[in-house]
Structure 1
Amino acid sequence: MDERKRRSRSRSRDRPLRDERRRSRRREDRPRRQTKARDFTHLLDGSEEKFKWGQPEKEEEKEPVEVQKPNFGLSGALAKDSATGNTRNGVVMKWCEPPEARVPDKRWRLYVFKNGENIATLHLHRQSACLFGRDKKVADAFLEHESISKQHAVLQFRLRVKEERASELDQPEMVHEIIPYIMDLKSTNHTFLNGNKIEHSRYIELREQDVLTFGESTREYVLMKTSK
Structure 2
Amino acid sequence: MEHERGDRKYDRNSYKKEPLSLERTKWDSGNEAQEYERKNDKKKAAKEKEKPNFALSGKLAEETNTFRGVVIRYSEPPEARIPKKRWRFYVFKDNENMPTLYMHRQIAYLIGRDRKVCDLAVDHPSCSKQHAALHYRLVPYEKADGRRARAVRPYIIDLGSSNETFVNNKPIEPQRYVELREKDVLKFGLSSREYVLLHDESKDDILDDDYQED
- Runs (4+) of structure 1 exceeding 2 A deviation are 68-73, 78-82, 162-166
1:141 and 2:115 equivalent? no
Flag structure 2 segments of 5+ consecutive residues without an equivalent.
Answer: 1-45, 203-214
Compute the TM-score of the two structures, normalised by the length of structure 1.
Answer: 0.62
**Identity rate, percent:** 49
Distance 1:71 1:214 in 2: 34
When residues 188 and 126 of structure 1 are mapped into structure 2, their CA distance, relative to the original with a 3 A threshold, is same
1:157 counterpart residue number: 136
2:81 counterpart residue number: 102
Distance 2:75 2:104 in 1: 19
Distance 1:69 1:156 in 2: 34
1:226 aligns with one of 182, 200, 214: 200
1:196 and 2:170 equivalent? yes
Greater helix content? 2
2:70 aligns with one of 58, 83, 91: 91
1:210 and 2:210 equivalent? no
Matches within 5 A, 1:35-46: none
Residue 102 of structure 1: CA displacement? 0.4
2:99 counterpart residue number: 120
Distance 2:158 2:65 in 1: 18
Residue 72 of structure 1: CA displacement? 10
Flag structure 1 segments of 5+ consecutive residues without an equivalent.
Answer: 1-65, 167-171
Distance 2:166 2:131 in 1: 11
User: CA-to-partner distance for each residue in 1:19-63, whole Å, 9 max, x for gaps?
Assistant: xxxxxxxxxxxxxxxxxxxxxxxxxxxxxxxxxxxxxxxxxxxxx
CA contact 1:111–1:122 (8 Å) conserved in 2? yes
Q: Which has the larger radius of gyration?
A: 1
Give the superposed CA RMSD. Answer: 2.6
Matched letter for residue 129 of structure 1: A
Give the count of matched residue pairs.
Answer: 154
Matched letter for residue 197 of structure 1: P
Residue 173 of structure 1: CA displacement? 3.5
